[in-house]
Amino acid sequence: MLGFNSARNKAGVQSEDTINVCGQEYTKDEWTNVTPNILSKTSRKLHLHQSHPISIIRQRIENHFATFKALNRFEPTVTTKMNFDDLCIPADHPTRVKSDNYYINATNMLRAHTSAHQLQGLESGATKFLISGDVYRRDEIDSSHYPVFHQMEGLQYFDMDPEITAKQVQDDIASQAELAANTVQLVDDTLVKPENPIQDRHAPEAAQAVVAHLKHSLNSMVRALFKDEPNLQVRWIDAYFPFTSPSWEMEIFYQGEWLEICGCGIVRQDLMDAAGLQNKIGWAFGCGLERLSMVLFDIPDIRLFWSEDERFLSQFAAGEIVKFKPFSKFPPCLKDISFWLPEKDWNENNFCEIVRGVAGDIVENVTKIDDFTHPKTQKRSVCYRITYRSMDRNVTNEEINAIQEKVRSTVEEDLSVQLR
């Protein structure tokens, strides 16, 4: 594995005790789990490259919400308070676990969602704003999961008053231009109900008006984005987020399955209070930009977004949505690795992280192909198949063998497994 203590990367130089992330020095501790591979992504800022698909979708959403203030330049380093506490995520909530996040140290991390900046947005004085940025999560490895992706957050608020809120909402909707007819099919059979309740602090009339505004806003955003996709099916489902109530998700039907594209809801009043907006009521949403781009541009593998290959980049131009024309793929190279698991502390994401750390973007997929427990010893053995394939060049067998050897020795050392 890239020696963590001594590695250099674009994002900075690392020493034994400190780590430099986005130009700032942090003291390492037992929470530190960012890797040089991940830190090298923080300087890419794909959402700001005019003619990159991620940026094109960002701009489309910004054009749709033309009166919103666009905040696109927050650094991905945030405090755990911003990422969790400010959003009413309890101290013992499972989303905080080390194995799902990239921690710089116990109190700082790479943001796991753009919601981490909601409070800053509220404090900026804007009554409606969008926030885009790169977000980081430890995850499995396949064509739709990558440890860095991009989100667009949106938030709008109104005066909280049973008389005024509904009027403000109506006026705002009336002021918006009608969309041209298209074939997007929207299904929403969600209702506000006790399991997904209006907050105690909200008068039902005011909350219902803001819910209607949220649904109108997101439905028209989806209609606008997908206006040229024939018969796209979109649905609303109930959801839960600690920072909204009620909460929903929007899903689109794509290649035979429902894909979540967006989470949303009525902002928890505690959050509005924290920004000094006790008498305002708002909605918020967060959308994954890769998901939207993969559908709109027909991009089959999430790693392509990171490609610096001209055959990829030259296909796109600012403002335009075109279908990606696949260029010939280089052949894959498959390698299996089997080992006995340690008695405790086994976590698949830690394994995937090692593979990524060693192989970088050459790893396309990691799939468990065998899992058995020895009947006598009760020891558990697993086998993973790793698919290596470069997006932009041929890899040699020697090169992959060397990577695989390094994966084996690192896994053995760092995860206390017993290789087979």
Contacting positions for ligand DAH (CB under 6 A): 113, 115, 153, 241, 244, 263-265, 284-286
Using the minimum distance from each CB to ligand DAH, give the nearer residue, 28 or 215. Answer: 215
Our measurement of the distance from residue 356's CA atom to the centroid of its chain's CA atoms, rounded to an integer in Å, reads: 18
Helix, strand, coil percentages (3-state) for the chain, rounded to 5, are 30, 30, 40
Q: In this structure, are residues 119 and 274 in contact, taking their beta carbons and an 8 Å threshold?
A: yes
Our measurement of the distance from residue 31's CA atom to the centroid of its chain's CA atoms, rounded to an integer in Å, reads: 21
Distance CA 404, CA 35 (A): 19
Q: In this structure, are residues 132 and 291 in contact, taking their beta carbons and an 8 Å threshold?
A: no
Minimum Å gap between C-beta 115 and ligand DAH is 4
116 residue type, one letter: A
Cα separations in angstroms, 262 against 218, 253, 382? 9, 13, 35
Using the minimum distance from each CB to ligand DAH, give the nearer residue, 285 or 312. Answer: 285
What crossing angle do the helices spanning 204-225 and 53-64 adopt, rounded to 10°? 130
User: Does an H or E element contain 135, and which?
Assistant: strand 128-136
Minimum Å gap between C-beta 93 and ligand DAH is 13
Minimum Å gap between C-beta 419 and ligand DAH is 36
The 8-class DSSP code of residue 328 comes to P
Peptide bond between residue 246 and the one before it cis (omega within 30 degrees of 0): yes
Using the minimum distance from each CB to ligand DAH, give the nearer residue, 158 or 241. Answer: 241
85 residue type, one letter: D
3-state SS class at 282: strand
Q: Hey, what are 60's tokens?
A: 């489309």
- Decide the pairing of beta strands 18-21 and 24-27: antiparallel
Using the minimum distance from each CB to ligand DAH, give the nearer residue, 284 or 407. Answer: 284
Minimum Å gap between C-beta 364 and ligand DAH is 25
User: Does an H or E element contain 207, and which?
Assistant: helix 204-225
Using the minimum distance from each CB to ligand DAH, give the nearer residue, 114 or 365. Answer: 114
Minimum Å gap between C-beta 242 and ligand DAH is 10
Using the minimum distance from each CB to ligand DAH, give the nearer residue, 22 or 119. Answer: 119
Minimum Å gap between C-beta 284 and ligand DAH is 3
Distance CA 316, CA 307 (A): 13
Minimum Å gap between C-beta 248 and ligand DAH is 8
Using the minimum distance from each CB to ligand DAH, give the nearer residue, 135 or 337. Answer: 135
Using the minimum distance from each CB to ligand DAH, give the nearer residue, 201 or 408. Answer: 201
Minimum Å gap between C-beta 153 and ligand DAH is 5
